[in-house]
Each structure stands twice: as structure tokens, then as C-alpha cells.
Structure 1
Amino acid sequence: MSFDIKGKKAIITGGAQGLGRSLVEAFYTAGVEIAVIDISEKIHDLPSEFNDNDQKIHALKGDLLDIDSLRDSFQTALEKLGGTIDILINCAGLIDRGPALESSLDSWNRIFGLNVTSTFELSRLAAAKMKEQGAGKIINMGSILSVLGGYNAAAYSTSKGAVLQLTKSLSNEWAEYGIQVNAIAPGYMVTQMNTALMNDPVRRPQIEARIPSKRWGTPEDVAGVALFLAAPASDYVTGALIPVDGGVLAR
């Protein structure tokens, strides 16, 4: 059993901030060469922030809502990694909180485009290469709302439910090729995406009362599970949704 992933090559989406940035830090520290794709201009600051003198972090700006841009970004990332991809982490995500009756169809489509369609297409692109190699790890970012209905987040919760079903389906198809496909379900995390919830005087105490661990999660809590799913130690784990939620789904 090995937890060593030093020398592996990974593509991480949404790595400029929040959970994604924590994953970049964790995998970089573990000795992984990483191509990071994000639409934010902050992406260009990553190499200097990590003092990446060995040039193990490749920052690529790309719009994953545009399929042509997505495919170009993937091919560029693959080239930067020398034509090999061992790990894909689909972390880029979008939420637009609000009542379903007041939400726009454009918002629905954007959320599904990033959370589901980009995950599907990037997974297919990565799996084609991983199949040639005979091994690979795909880690999708689900949510506790992959299981729960949520509140004022109909499009987001539905998209994350789709991510869970996609994870299961792809794992069934690709396990025979040595590719494991799993998902992580973060709970209530201290991230920019949840700023509105943390500042809500009504919702915040309701949420905190529901968390058995009595605290919000941190991006670092998620990184440990991602490292496990990327390592040889998890080679017989596939099609799973692993909660990192302080016990919310068990309650």
C-alpha cells in the first residue's frame, strides 16, 4: 500500500482560489507536477505564490463554459505535462443562490455547463489518455447537496446530484482500464462561495446547529481525502462519494 504520488502529473480546474487552491498546494507539496486551469486572472499568481522555481505549476487561463476553450486548455495542459496525465481533479464550480421562482434559465444553464458538462468532457479527454497508459485517477467535486436538496440552490444541488451519478457511471465504464473515478462531498466550508451563508444571521446558526463536529470545514480538510484518492492506496476505491462534512450526511 502506497500513499506516495511524487512525480505524478495532474490537471486541476478551479485552482486559483478556495478549495481548488488548497488542492494545488497539497499536491504541489506532495511532489506532483500540476497544470492548473482557471478563468480568474489570479491563476497567473500561483507559481510565484508557491515559489515554484522547479516550474512544477503550470498556470493556464481557460473558460470551461466554452467547449473549444476547454479542449484547447486541456491539450495545452497535457503538453505542459509532457503528454502524461495521472490525475484529473474537476474542482471548478459555480453557484447562484436564490429562490427557484426567481432564478433565470441562463443561470441554470451556466451552472450545469460548468459543474456538469465541463466535468464530463474533461473526464472523457483525460480518460482517453489514461486508458492508453493503463491507469489514472479522476476526482470530481460533488457536495453534500449531491444527496441533500439544499435551500435556495435548486440548480446547484441538481448539478451536484448529476456529478454523483456521472461519477458512478464513468467508474463503471472505466474501472477495467485501471481508471478510478470518485467524488468528494464537501460540507459547509469556509470559502468565498459560502460568504453569503456565513454572513446570514438566520441561516448561519441553523447550519452550525446541524454540523455534529460543531465547526465549518476548511479547504485543508478536503485536500487530505483528495490525496488519498489520487494515491495507489485507493486503487480499489471507485464510484464512491466521500463526505468531508463534519458528519452532516450521517445525521
Structure 2
Amino acid sequence: MGRLQDKVALITGAGTGVGRACMEIFAKEGAKVVGVSRTQANLDEALKAVTDAGGEGAVVAADLSTPEGAQKAFDGAMQAFGRVDVLVNSAGVGYNHVAESEGSMADTANTTPEKWREVLAINLDSGFYMCRLAIPHMQEKGGGAIVNVTSISGYQGLPAAHTYTAAKGGMINLTRSLCVAYAKDNIRANAIAPGFIATRMVADFLPLFDDEAVAESITPMKRPGTPEEMAYGCLYLASDEASYCNGTILTIDGGTTARQ
């Protein structure tokens, strides 16, 4: 307990999945948490879980695919707690986004320019918008930690979801570039690269793990990871325990990419 004691963590994508797990676990480790998502109801549930466990937090409903939404999120954190020590960029969409945006997870030949821009805005631009607001603040206060949630799809080729993979690959190299540029300011930038994680983003594919042979072909551990397992990776990178980690891409995939 207390690995983030007295720090303020701004966590995007906090309504569900990895972002929500980060919000709850960071609060248990002493951080004041500010959760951001597009859906107020999900945020309210996440905040209740934090406060019911004795933590302290706030939430901001915002669309981070726009500069204005990112500004709203950052301003909300500053109004709530007056500073941001940790930024976790977990906002994003995946395969389930097809239900509300047909064609968003297609291959290049079947992706329209509009869908390309849409997914990049949510999965990559949002991280850029948040970083460009947080970094000057962290410089002024003497340092901070940025943790980006990417994916092993950012360094794998896939038959579809090409905009998604491009965005995740972009976030990986943005993380490395942030490290190189801002280490002098005591700002660490790292990322986790999850594998197949049991979230609603991939809910339609979870039955694949019911077949042991198929499950083993996906990952040697033959099961999906959990949001909490990803959040603990983020916790490590955000904490002072990772004081010499900078530009690190921490793969948490049950061994999926070990075969490559």
C-alpha cells in the first residue's frame, strides 16, 4: 500500500477496462485519481468503487479525440486537486467499436479516410492532446510520470484493424520520443503493451478460449489477461519503483509474442 501516496493521477479511458482498473488500484495505493471517459454513467460507477474503498477521486466526462475535450479533462483534474503527477493514457477503441462504427476495424483497402481519421483520433490523437497539456505542467513542478496503454498489435502485423495497429504503433514510438525529449525534466514516459485482455473491447472473441487447442494457439498461458493485471503494470511504471524505467514498453501478454 502507498506506492502512489499523495500523488494525483489523471487516468483516461477510466470508465471501463484497463483504465477503470487503474483508477481503482491507484486509489488503493494512495493516489488521488481523476477518471476521464466519454460516458458519465461508467465514470460514476468507477468513482463509487473508489470512494466505497476509502479512496479519493473525481471524474470528468469528455471526448478526448478533440483538443477541447482534452483541455476539459486536464482542467477538471487541476480544479479537483491542483496538480497532475501521473498521466495514464488508456482511452481507446478496439474491435467492439464496429458495433457503433461499421468499417472502423477493417483492413486498409476497406477503410475509408473518415474511419481512418476517426480511430486515429480516439486511439492516438487523444494521447498526444493529453501529453501536450500535462508535460508543461510537469516541467514546471519538477517532474512526473506518463504511462501509455498500447498493444502488442502495435508491433505485430494483423490481417485487419489496420488503423488500430497503426495507432498503437504510433503510441509506442511517441512514448520513446517523449522519453528522449523530456528525461532532462525528470519526466518519465513508459507504456504497457497488453495482449489478449478480457474486456468488452474483445468480448466477441472470448469464447475462443473455451477450446483448449485454440486457446494455446493464442497464448501459452491459454487464458486472456485481466484488466487488473494490466493496471498493476501501469502502477509499477507510474511509481517510484520504476525510477530508472524510461522509454520502456512493458509487454504483458501471457507469452503471446514470445513465439515470434
Structure 1 length normalisation: TM-score? 0.92
Name the SS for the 1:64 alignment partner.
coil
User: How much does 1:69 deviate?
Assistant: 2.1
Name the SS for the 1:249 alignment partner.
helix
| Structure 1, 92-101 or 138-147: larger mean CA deviation | 92-101
- Report the Cα distance in structure 1 between the residues aligned to 2:159 and 2:13, rounded to whole angstroms: 24
User: How much does 1:6 deviate?
Assistant: 1.1
- Report the Cα distance in structure 2 between the residues aligned to 1:240 and 1:135, rounded to whole angstroms: 17
Partner of 2:101: none
CA-based RMSD: 2.3
Partner of 1:4: 3
Partner of 1:230: 238
Partner of 2:119: 111
Relative to structure 1, is the Cα distance of residues 53 and 215 closer, same or farther in structure 2, using a 3 angstrom cutoff? Answer: closer
Percent identity of the aligned residues? 30
1:166 correspondence with 2:165: no
User: How much does 1:4 deviate?
Assistant: 2.3
Partner of 2:98: none
Relative to structure 1, is the Cα distance of residues 26 and 229 closer, same or farther in structure 2, using a 3 angstrom cutoff? Answer: same
User: How much does 1:123 deviate?
Assistant: 0.9
User: For 1:61-112, what per-residue CA distance to the aligned partner results, in whole angstroms no more than 9, with x for missing partners?
Assistant: 0011121122122112122122x11100000011243333332222211111
Name the SS for the 2:51 alignment partner.
coil
Name the SS for the 2:88 alignment partner.
strand
Relative to structure 1, is the Cα distance of residues 23 and 97 closer, same or farther in structure 2, using a 3 angstrom cutoff? Answer: same
Matches within 5 A, 1:1-251: 4-41=3-40, 42-52=42-52, 56-82=56-82, 84-95=83-94, 96-199=104-207, 206=214, 208-251=216-259
| Structure 1, 214-223 or 182-191: larger mean CA deviation | 214-223
**Which ranges of structure 2 fall in alignment gaps of 5 or more residues?**
95-103
User: How much does 1:157 deviate?
Assistant: 0.5
- Report the Cα distance in structure 2 between the residues aligned to 1:191 and 1:216, rounded to whole angstroms: 9
Contact 2:28 2:53 survives alignment (8 Å)? no
Relative to structure 1, is the Cα distance of residues 24 and 205 closer, same or farther in structure 2, using a 3 angstrom cutoff? Answer: farther
Contact 1:198 1:204 survives alignment (8 Å)? no
Structure with higher helix content = 2
Contact 1:15 1:23 survives alignment (8 Å)? yes
- Report the Cα distance in structure 2 between the residues aligned to 1:216 and 1:81, rounded to whole angstroms: 36
User: How much does 1:128 deviate?
Assistant: 0.6
- Report the Cα distance in structure 1 between the residues aligned to 2:160 and 2:125, rounded to whole angstroms: 22
User: How much does 1:55 deviate?
Assistant: 6.8
Name the SS for the 2:258 alignment partner.
coil
| Structure 1, 14-23 or 98-107: larger mean CA deviation | 98-107
The residue identity in structure 2 corresponding to 1:58 is A
The residue identity in structure 2 corresponding to 1:106 is E
- Report the Cα distance in structure 1 between the residues aligned to 2:142 and 2:226, rounded to whole angstroms: 34
User: How much does 1:145 deviate?
Assistant: 0.8
| Structure 1, 222-231 or 154-163: larger mean CA deviation | 222-231
The residue identity in structure 2 corresponding to 1:88 is L
Relative to structure 1, is the Cα distance of residues 232 and 50 closer, same or farther in structure 2, using a 3 angstrom cutoff? Answer: closer
- Report the Cα distance in structure 2 between the residues aligned to 1:156 and 1:199, rounded to whole angstroms: 22
User: How much does 1:195 deviate?
Assistant: 1.2
User: How much does 1:149 deviate?
Assistant: 1.2
User: How much does 1:199 deviate?
Assistant: 4.3
**Which ranges of structure 1 fall in alignment gaps of 5 or more residues?**
none
Relative to structure 1, is the Cα distance of residues 198 and 173 closer, same or farther in structure 2, using a 3 angstrom cutoff? Answer: same
Structure 2 length normalisation: TM-score? 0.89
The count of corresponding residues between Structure 1 and Structure 2 is 249
- Report the Cα distance in structure 2 between the residues aligned to 1:89 and 1:46, rounded to whole angstroms: 16
Contact 1:34 1:81 survives alignment (8 Å)? no
- Report the Cα distance in structure 2 between the residues aligned to 1:105 and 1:204, rounded to whole angstroms: 39
